[in-house]
Chains A and B, each alone.
Chain A
Amino acid sequence: MLLVITYSRDARQSLRNICRTHEEIVRRQFGRVALLGETEFAAFQVIRLREKHGEAVQVEQTDPFNEFERVPDPVREAARAYEDRDRAAVPYTAFAAGREFPSPEQMKETEL
């Protein structure tokens, strides 16, 4: 999908106008942000926005997040095990210590 984020009042207004006029290309809209379906027409509208408002319009192309493709096993398993823990009060750092799970620091330093 195309993620459109606006950074000025004018740009936000233009985005709202597009979303109102072309409901069919909008998957979700949150105030100054919209997710548009990936069609040439959506791209056409987005490029127009950028032409008009320059960098006050940020556009990202998003993919569905597939953790089985993008995330190493230990991270996935750690998340699953931690959500399945017996004692709710245990912080993750304590939970990970002594097990084969990565520490928050390790994970923060590693890009996907």
Chain B
Amino acid sequence: MICRIGSVVRSGQAVTVEQQIDAERIRAAITRSGPGGGHPSDCGEEPAVRIDCADPTPVHEYVGHIRPEMGLRARTALAVAGRTRGLDTPHDEEIERLEAELSSITVEESDLEDHREALADERRKLQRAREAVAETRGRLAASREHGLETDDLEAELRRRIQELAELETTATAATQRHEQHQAAARRRRDQRERRFALEDELENRRRDARRALVDQLEGEFAAAVRELSERQLDDPFECRPALAGLAVARLAEYDAPIVLETSQFESAAAARAWLGGPVLKL
């Protein structure tokens, strides 16, 4: 690793950063390192940070920055660490199969919203037109009863009935369109149902795999925690997140540095020796 902060350049597997600098900027520089990652200008902040190193592994998402106030899902992180060491589980084949099946199911999205809105609109217009016909009929009947002139009202009624007939036609068409879309939506829901079942199944198998990985590594993890912890713990997973993070990092294999903000180790070199991987100590 080569770490450049401003004009200070340090290289090697154990680097101590003397300057006051935000750990997030260091992490960002590690993440965008590696081939093809390029080096954007670090938002013009000073001093410029540039770190040349290998690509971070998935375990860096959990223990890439170890600090006293961190949170950690220790079992999940331990399972990820196991994967960096190339550990397998009996569930891997099934997971691969489920992932493949899942990616083969695609559900298209639709514009159902518009059809429902158009349908509701047509039905409202239709309702209003029906009411208008009924109302005109009522007025016509009343006029006849009173022996009044009805020519205008008869003309109005004919016009309103004509309007109603036209609206009925468009409403019927809207209903048909809506029904077609509903049928399509039902088919899509069947696909979603299948996908959902697979997702659940996959998540269950992944959980099984995590458990299997944790089972394989638990002993080593407990031993690592014991080396760090002053007090004896019944359950090593109950230890402080920073300690668990260090233990996970020790069990993982990685070539990109881990950023340390703990007082656990006297020097970057000591941390590097214990963790077995590159370290950037702040």
Contact = CB atoms under 8 A, between A and B. Distances in A.
Interface string A27-53: 000001000000000000000000000
B109 A55 contact: yes
Given A55-B185, A58-B189, A9 B109 contact: no
B109 A7 contact: no
B188 interface: yes
Contacts of B203: 9
A8 B109 contact: no
SS of B interface (majority): helix
Interface of A: 7-9, 32, 54-56, 58
B196 A55 contact: no
B199 interface: yes
Given A55-B185, A55-B188, A55-B189, A7 B110 contact: no
Instruction: Determine the interface band of chain B, counting residues with CB < 8 A from chain A.
Output: 10 to 19
A55 B196 CA distance: 13
B24 interface: no
B200 A7 contact: no
Contacts of B195: 7-8
Nearest to B200: A9
B196 to A, nearest CB: 5
B112 A8 contact: no
Contacts of A58: 189
A55 B192 contact: yes
Nearest to A32: B196
Contacts of A54: 109
B112 A7 contact: no
Given A55-B110, A55-B112, A8 B188 contact: no
Nearest to B108: A55
Nearest to A11: B196
Contacts of A9: 196, 199-200, 203
A7 B191 CA distance: 9
A58 B49 CA distance: 50
Interface string B181-192: 000010011001
Interface string B93-110: 000000000000001011
B193 interface: yes
B189 to A, nearest CB: 6
A45 to B, nearest CB: 18
Interface in B66-112: 107, 109-110, 112
A26 B271 CA distance: 54
Interface in B175-214: 185, 188-189, 192-193, 195-196, 199-200, 203
Contacts of B200: 9
